[in-house]
Copies of this chain bind each other. A is one copy, B any other.
Amino acid sequence: MASDSAGFALSSRARRTQRQPISYLMAQAVENPDVISLAAGLVDADTLPAREAFALLEPMLCTRPSARAALQYGTTQGLLSLREKVLAHMAALDGLAPGDLAGTPDDVVIATGSQQLLFILADVLIDPGDVVITGWPSYFVFTGTLEAAGAHVRCVDIDEDGLVPESLERVLGTLKAEGLLPRVRMLYTVSYHQNPTGITLAEDRRGTIVDIIRRYSTDHRILIVEDAAYRELTFEGRPPRSMVRHDPEGRHVALLQTFSKTFAPGLKVGYGLLPHGLVEPVLLQKGNHDFGSANLCQHLVLAAMESGAYARHVEALCRHYTAKRDATLEALREHLGCLAGVRWTHPSGGLYVFLTLPEGLATHTGGPLFARALEEGVLYVPGEYCYPPDPTRTIPENTIRLCYGVCSIEQIRAGVAALARAVRAVM
């Protein structure tokens, strides 16, 4: 909660809103500039498409009609030609033509990053006391958003193939038995190379999960929010098709993607394909938020897609991050491979590896491991931040999220080695 409102009477939402735990880590990074941060979930600054952006802006700003379009107000929903383009893009990633999707460009909303869409979806569906189901663990920024909305969070097990359908069925069955089914509003899942685990929801589970949600939507429709932020950062194999493929009438799944991971976070352009009935409620809220995200940035990502610069950039990014993922896994094997009780995930894409240490080895910021790791010169995210406050579960204290996004390969090697020294020292 805000610690000092200095005499203002804050709303119940403001009083419910906690400081994001990550802010402590960001402060640590600033105060310890020489420390290698395997904590920051950022993209690699070396990959930012500066030349590409400039080459695209030149014809845009030096031609009168396109300059006017980019610098004038846009619409709340976002640039129509960009909505058409990203819809075709989502369809292509699913191996479809745009017309094969249930949604049309009218069902696409452009936002200030996909986070704004996450916020608004929570805001239009959740009253205090409503229930949201997430993975165990889940993306912690959105957990904070859900708590601020007053949601009660219940969690579903994740194994190496992602959300476990039997666990989802169990959670929904329990909620039904508790009389809480009418309060269940949303299943939230980061379905590709999840933040924090790097795990992808397997193709053969996707239809099952949509079916379960459909089956429990007796009182009203439960929304599946498929956060596909890392979908395009797939390093090997063909990523599964989206859950939209299992929702052919476009009734249950909101598919969210973003240009922040695949092009440039500084443009803050995200987008979502929404079930038709949610478009108007979302736009009414977005109208009150900002009546449209920055138009220049929308025109820039559209130009990047149209010119082919976007596709080339994603390809280069995947090569770049593959080498980093490999370096991370190799360093973990080298430095922690022979330690009993230590294991980690093997992501096929994205930016994260999730590490489990022997039981009893606490990773929180107040504990000896965190302090020792800082001394050794490395910063990590305690995995406990990633477990939502599900009252039916106990948060494991021995996990760590590592992000290989920002660091160079040399830093990754040195950082993992430093972490291993810290683990051995406190074990």
- Report A's interface with B, CB cutoff 8 A: 2-14, 17-20, 42-43, 45, 48-51, 53-54, 57-58, 61-62, 64, 67-74, 112-113, 115-116, 119, 123-127, 130, 141, 144-145, 148, 182, 185, 217, 219-221, 223, 251, 260, 264-269, 275-278, 280-281, 284-285, 287-297, 299-300
Q: Cα distance A275–B267 when bound, in Å?
A: 29
Given A48-B71, A119-B289: 18 more A-B contacts, CB < 8 Å: A6-B275, A8-B223, A9-B185, A9-B219, A11-B125, A14-B281, A17-B284, A18-B284, A43-B72, A54-B61, A54-B62, A71-B264, A71-B266, A72-B266, A148-B285, A264-B296, A268-B293, A296-B297
- Inter-chain contact A51/B61, CB cutoff 8 Å: yes
Q: Cα distance A11–B125 when bound, in Å?
A: 5
Q: Cα distance A105–B4 when bound, in Å?
A: 18
What would 23 A/B residue contacts be, using CB atoms closer than 8 Å? A5-B280, A7-B217, A9-B219, A11-B126, A12-B127, A13-B123, A20-B284, A20-B287, A45-B68, A48-B67, A49-B71, A50-B68, A50-B71, A51-B61, A53-B67, A53-B71, A71-B267, A115-B291, A119-B290, A148-B288, A268-B290, A294-B297, A296-B300
Q: Cα distance A349–B275 when bound, in Å?
A: 44
Q: Which residues of the partner chain B approach A294 to less than 8 Å between Cβ atoms?
A: 112, 266-269, 293-294, 297
Q: How far is the CB of A30 from chain B (nearest CB, A)?
A: 11
Closest to A68 in B: B45
Q: Cα distance A124–B116 when bound, in Å?
A: 17
Q: Cα distance A53–B300 when bound, in Å?
A: 14
* Residue of B2, B266, B291, B293 touching A141 (CB-CB under 8 A): B291
Given contacts A64-B50, A119-B290, A268-B290, contact A10 B295 (CB under 8 A): no
Q: How far is the CB of A48 from chain B (nearest CB, A)?
A: 4
Q: Which residues of the partner chain B approach A4 to less than 8 Å between Cβ atoms?
A: 276-277, 280
Q: Which residues of the partner chain B approach A275 to less than 8 Å between Cβ atoms?
A: 6, 8
Q: Which 8 A-B pairs have the closest CB atoms?
A: A6-B277, A50-B67, A266-B295, A71-B266, A14-B124, A54-B61, A2-B281, A9-B220
Q: Which residues of the partner chain B approach A141 to less than 8 Å between Cβ atoms?
A: 287-288, 291
Closest to A19 in B: B284
Q: How far is the CB of A225 from chain B (nearest CB, A)?
A: 12
* Residue of B7, B73, B126, B148 touching A265 (CB-CB under 8 A): B73
Given contacts A115-B289, A115-B290, contact A276 B42 (CB under 8 A): no
Q: Which residues of the partner chain B approach A292 to less than 8 Å between Cβ atoms?
A: 268
Closest to A295 in B: B266
Q: Which residues of the partner chain B approach A281 to less than 8 Å between Cβ atoms?
A: 2, 5, 8, 10, 14, 17
- Inter-chain contact B3/A288, CB cutoff 8 Å: no
- Inter-chain contact A251/B6, CB cutoff 8 Å: yes
Q: Cα distance A103–B385 when bound, in Å?
A: 33
* Residue of B61, B70, B145, B284 touching A14 (CB-CB under 8 A): B284
Closest to A223 in B: B8
Q: How far is the CB of A251 from chain B (nearest CB, A)?
A: 7
Q: How far is the CB of A268 from chain B (nearest CB, A)?
A: 4
Q: Cα distance A389–B74 when bound, in Å?
A: 28
Which of A20, A45, A266, A287: most chain B CB closer than 10 A?
A266
Q: Cα distance A299–B269 when bound, in Å?
A: 16
Q: Which residues of the partner chain B approach A19 to less than 8 Å between Cβ atoms?
A: 284
Which of A49, A57, A141, A276: most chain B CB closer than 10 A?
A57
Q: How far is the CB of A120 from chain B (nearest CB, A)?
A: 9
* Residue of B14, B58, B73, B124 touching A13 (CB-CB under 8 A): B124
Q: Cα distance A220–B112 when bound, in Å?
A: 34
Q: Which residues of the partner chain B approach A5 to less than 8 Å between Cβ atoms?
A: 277-278, 280-281
Closest to A67 in B: B50
Closest to A111 in B: B290
